[in-house]
Structure 1
């Protein structure tokens, strides 16, 4: 599945209503993310089944790595959209606190 950059740019991610930030992804982006998350959910169930069947540890670890990679892919899509819309909008509005917010988010993503 490929990610369409134009799709990210057409979204308005972080609008505020009653001081609550909320993301607004296009229908296609939501569909893409939900499809990916459903697949990941299936991978998790598969890993559980492998453990229940006493599958060789190395094989289970490979499946876990694959699942982590898929989850990272979802995070990358969300982060890209967030940077290209929400963060840009907030900086243009003079809200520079968003930079610290993004740095904390990135630190959480790369923490191992």
Structure 2
């Protein structure tokens, strides 16, 4: 697999230093929390699909869409916190201060 390749719809990025694919072990607690939140968001999206198919009031559909967007942002914040507390700290401790550029790019995506 090459840098920027896609596997099952998910982009996998190679490390700019060694060329190997990045891998991040995550705690069972984080995995469970993220999975639970994603499942809830998927359920909400399925409910919204049904609302649209049933011609429900636009305001109600938009309210539910806002709730899903908020839920996805909460997932992003949880993963970002874990990234900062693990990957970023480890890379800075190893002397790789270029990680700050990556963090700034990530922040730009969420602002």
Settle same-fold status: TM greater than 0.5: yes
Aligned to 2:76: 75
The structure with more helix, counted as a fraction of residues: 1
Aligned to 2:109: 108
Aligned partner of residue 38 in structure 2, secondary structure: helix
CA drift at 1:18: 7.1
- Residue 56 in structure 1 maps to residue 30 in structure 2: no
Q: In structure 2, list runs of 5 or more residues that go unmatched.
A: 1-17
Aligned partner of residue 22 in structure 2, secondary structure: strand
Q: Number of paired residues?
A: 94
TM-score after normalising by structure 1:
0.79
Q: In structure 1, list runs of 5 or more residues that go unmatched.
A: 1-16
TM-score after normalising by structure 2:
0.79
Structure 1 moving runs of 4+ over 4 Å: none
The alignment yields a C-alpha RMSD, in angstroms, of 1.4
Aligned partner of residue 21 in structure 1, secondary structure: coil
| Separation of aligned partners in 2, 1:92 and 1:78 | 20
| Separation of aligned partners in 2, 1:20 and 1:94 | 20
Aligned to 2:5: none
